[in-house]
Structure 1
Amino acid sequence: MSFSLSTVFRPLTRAVTYTRWLHQLIASVAGTLAGFVHGGTFRSTGMEVWLWIAVLPVPVLLTAALIPAVRRVEGLQAQLLLTPGPHGPEERAGTGISTSPSLSWRDRGRTAGWLLLRLAVGVPVSALTVQLPVLSFAFLQAAAGHRTHFRGLPAIDAPHGWYALLVPLPLVVLLAVAVWAGSLMAAAAGRLLGPSAAERLAVLEARTERILEHNRLAQELHDSIGHALTVTVLQAGAARAAGSPEFTDRALAAVEETGRQALTDLERALRLLREDVPHPAARPVLADAERLLESARAAGSTVRAELSGPLAALPGPVSREGYRMVQEALTNVLRHAGPVPVSVRIAADADALELEVRNPMPASPAPAAVGRGLRGLRERAVLLGGKAVAGPDEDGEWRVHARLPLARLR
């Protein structure tokens, strides 16, 4: 029994019950204002007044629904008054109620339906909110032995003490109607003011863009930090093996420069993750490829480079991703083959950018398909509409080759 009573009385202890009630009372404001404009509305008797209040604003509401901003206003009001709990940006986003302006005629039609439903529910609830407490007072007066006759209510000409039993009944009915109507409007808001198909698609696209951006940043950090650590390990090992102070100084200088570049890349990636930084540091491009080659030379490799074409004029996305692809290829050489001779070719023309890195095969080559780096290299090429391959060639060398189209990006 206690469970049943708590279930019945629980809505009366929730703040959202009364904010929803307020939301329904606000719906009759337009009708009340229209009643003042329409002469004679409030000289009507009984329920005729409420009928006028329900009918007069319909043309105004249908016209208002054509204004895109009205949907936004109604959505904000519904979020604040119809949904329980905190109302921060994240909580409001999870209510299923949109606060975007109308973007299509379908949105305007749903807004019109919502406004008419608010009117159809709000006016009767407003009428009961006014009339039922008066009825309870009439029963109280009759229980005290007084005749009563309030406007809009039947007269009580035979007062009697038993009317005291009826005093709470109108108030119970009013509370039950308010709770039911509030739940109805909250459910309807999700359907009539919920995100349209276009809005859901926009949210999905934005979420996809965020995921892709995070994945791209993860790949960037993998390429940059992985390259720096590989060079650092090789330099440290070579310096210890050489036993030459002069070579050790050069190795430490190379480690310092590589570490500084890695820290710059890390700071830029962290800036991209901070929404309050509008202009993160620029990403390196193929015009900066010489620093990659010098890094590989500092690690002990003999690098033969062939750079041709207008590298500085390449489209930004191609140039940035091309730089990372060359970086990943050189990192793989140093990691798996050590300081071996490397051939690098970067060639750009009007149609495409070609990248090629060759090196002798190590004694125990790693499987071609293993490794996040090569997979990321292929993914970068595919995203730009190109293709990348990696593996041994007919000359017994390990070859990484990528071709990125340029014609459609210009």
Structure 2
Amino acid sequence: MVRILRPFARAVTYTRWLHLFMAVVWPAMWWYIFDEFLAWSTAIVLLACAGLVPAMRTVEGFQARLLLLAHGDDSGDTEIVTSPSSTWGDRGRTSLWLELRLFLGCGVGFLTVHLPMLAEDLARTAQGGSPDRATFIQVPGHHWWYALLAPLPVIALAAVVVGAGALITVMARRLLGPSPAERLAAMEERTERLLERTRIARELHDSIGHALTVAVVQAGAARAAGDPAFTDRALDAIEETGRAALEDLERVLGILRESDRPVSSRPTLIDADRLLESARASGAKVDAELTGAVDTLPGPVSREGYRILQESLTNVLRHAGAVPVRVRIAVAEGTLGLEVRNPLTAEIPGPGRGSGLRGIRERAALLGGSAQTGPDQGDWQVHVELPLR
């Protein structure tokens, strides 16, 4: 019983009822002024034409969201659209929606008026009175047991209101919902947002992780050295690396706060000297070799190459410490080659472990390149090749 009565405790049941009534108000007014056939045929033609107007889908979409969906139902943002019709298919569905809403509204409106009248007639005839001639069902005779049937039209009306409300909501989701092209565009937009979130997380991991690694290594080395001059250099390196990390953090947070804000310039391989000097200041003996014109690299390749180099040097400092490091950056024949090698130590993680190494492989794959990480001839290597086109 509670389950049966629950819909009548929800406001959306009555707003759906109102939505159906609103569809027949102006045709009903015409019916009282003009000929019945002329009024309804004109309404049908006008609605079919109105559905071809692109803005009509916006109007109907807002109205359907407001009156047909329950409060707090966020699915309406995706199931019922409010953008203007962009194709003839959208216009046709809007016209069909208007026509079906009119017919369903007419049926519900008719029953809303006459079912209570029928219940009244049953009660009147049970008491010996005469039925109302305006009722669409005339009750013959005078029988006391008509009083037992009087509640049935009211119950039927309640079922009509709930059922028609559910039906018009389903129709709205089908006919005012997004087209296949709009669904594809929405899916692509969600995918782009997920990729952007993944990229931002990777950016923070690489930038902040590198800064914290340098700071930890520098602080440990300064404590172990006990040399004031070395301590000053270590503090300078920590300050510079921390400042760069704060700039990256502020840039990323700015993007998160303002989605329409243009992305400021991210570091590229042109700034690789900053990474190399930071690694040298942390005690690593970096031997760097650059061949080719780095400044001619495409922006995405140069930016991702910088992050790959940053993560590679961070892994060396984190797991191997102050060891000799060979860095090779080569731009030739439509490919960017980047290799970082250092002596293999027991602390180096194996292939496939660690979010940093996984991030390197993901960055390379995103640009159609390849990345190899792991032991090689007594060294730990990171070898990446990125196509320039």
Shared fold per TM-score greater than 0.5: yes
Structure 2 partner of 1:59: 45
- 1:384 corresponds in structure 2 to 367
2:100 partner amino acid: L
Q: CA deviation at 1:154?
A: 8.3
The whole-number CA distance in structure 1 between the counterparts of 2:24 and 2:346 is: 85
Where 2:284 maps in the other structure, the secondary structure is coil
* Equivalent residue runs for 1:119-268 within 5 Å: 119-132=102-115, 171-268=154-251
Identify the range of structure 1 (249-258 vs 59-68) with the bigger mean alpha-carbon deviation. Answer: 59-68
Q: Secondary structure at the match of 1:56?
A: helix
Output aligned runs, 1:7-406, within 5 Å. 7-32=3-28, 35=31, 40-41=34-35, 49=36, 53-86=39-72, 90=74, 92-93=76-77, 96-132=79-115, 171-275=154-258, 278-349=261-332, 351-362=334-345, 365-394=348-377, 396-406=378-388
- Structure 1: runs of 5 or more not aligned: 42-48
After TM superposition, give the deviation of residue 149 of structure 1 in Å. Answer: 6.3
Three-state SS of the structure 1 residue aligned to 2:265 is coil
Distance 1:381 1:271, change over 3 A: same
Structure 2: which amino acid aligns with 1:224? S
In structure 2, do the counterparts of structure 1 residues 71 and 223 end up closer, same or farther at CA, with 3 Å as the change threshold?
A: same
Amino acid at match of 1:362: T
1:235-273 deviation digits (Å, cap 9, x = unpaired) = 112111211111111111111111222222222223333
Structure 2 contact 118–135 (Cα < 8 Å) conserved: no
Q: Which amino acid aligns with 1:92?
A: G
C-alpha distance in structure 2 between counterparts of 1:166 and 1:398, whole Å:
89
Task: Report the CA distance between 1:224 and its aligned residue.
Answer: 1.5
Change (3 A) 1:241 1:130: same
How far apart, CA to CA, are the structure 1 residues paired with 2:317 and 2:137?
A: 97
CA distance in 1, matches of 2:168, 2:369: 53
The residue identity in structure 2 corresponding to 1:300 is G
Correspondence for 1:44: none
| Residue-pair matches, total | 389
Question: In the TM superposition, what is the alpha-carbon distance from 1:343 to its structure 2 partner?
Answer: 2.3
For 2:155 and 2:375, how far apart are their aligned partners in 1?
A: 84
**Given that residues 23 and 81 in structure 1 are in contact (C-alpha distance below 8 angstroms), is that contact kept between their aligned partners in structure 2?**
yes
- Alignment-mate amino acid for residue 70 of structure 2: P
Distance 1:362 1:237 in 2: 19
Q: Does the 8 A contact of 1:98 with 1:194 survive in 2?
A: yes
Give the whole-Å Cα distance in 2 for the aligned partners of 1:23 and 1:315. Answer: 56
- Cα 1:234–1:377 change in 2 (3 A) is same
Please say if residues 343 and 379 of structure 2, whose CA atoms lie closer than 8 Å, have aligned partners that are also in contact.
Answer: yes
State the distance in 2 between where 1:158 and 1:340 align: 108
Range moving further from structure 2, 375-384 or 11-20? 11-20
* CA distance in structure 2 between the aligned counterparts of 1:270 and 1:368, rounded to whole angstroms: 32
Q: Is the 8 A contact 2:117 2:135 kept in 1?
A: no
Give the TM-score normalised by structure 1: 0.81
Deviation at 1:111, TM superposition (A): 2.4
Q: 1:237 corresponds to which letter in structure 2?
A: G
For normalisation by structure 2, the TM-score amounts to 0.85
Deviation at 1:330, TM superposition (A): 1.0
Amino acid at match of 1:40: F
State the SS of the aligned residue for 2:253. Answer: helix
Instruction: Single out whichever of 124-133 and 299-308 deviates more from structure 2.
Output: 124-133
What is the rounded CA distance, in whole Å, between the counterparts of 2:138 and 2:108 in structure 1? 23
* One-letter amino acid of the structure 2 residue matched with residue 16 of structure 1: V
2: CA distance, partners of 1:81 / 1:283: 47
Q: Distance in 2 between matches of 1:106 and 1:9?
A: 39
Q: Aligned with 1:305: secondary structure?
A: strand
**Contact persistence 1:391–1:399 (CA under 8 A):** yes
**What runs of 5+ residues in structure 2 fail to find an aligned partner?**
none
The 8 Å contact of residues 118 and 137 in structure 2, kept in 1 or not, is answered as no
Specify the SS of the correspondent of 2:329. Answer: strand
2 CA distance for matches of 1:358 and 1:54?
A: 82
Q: Is the 8 A contact 1:35 1:56 kept in 2?
A: no
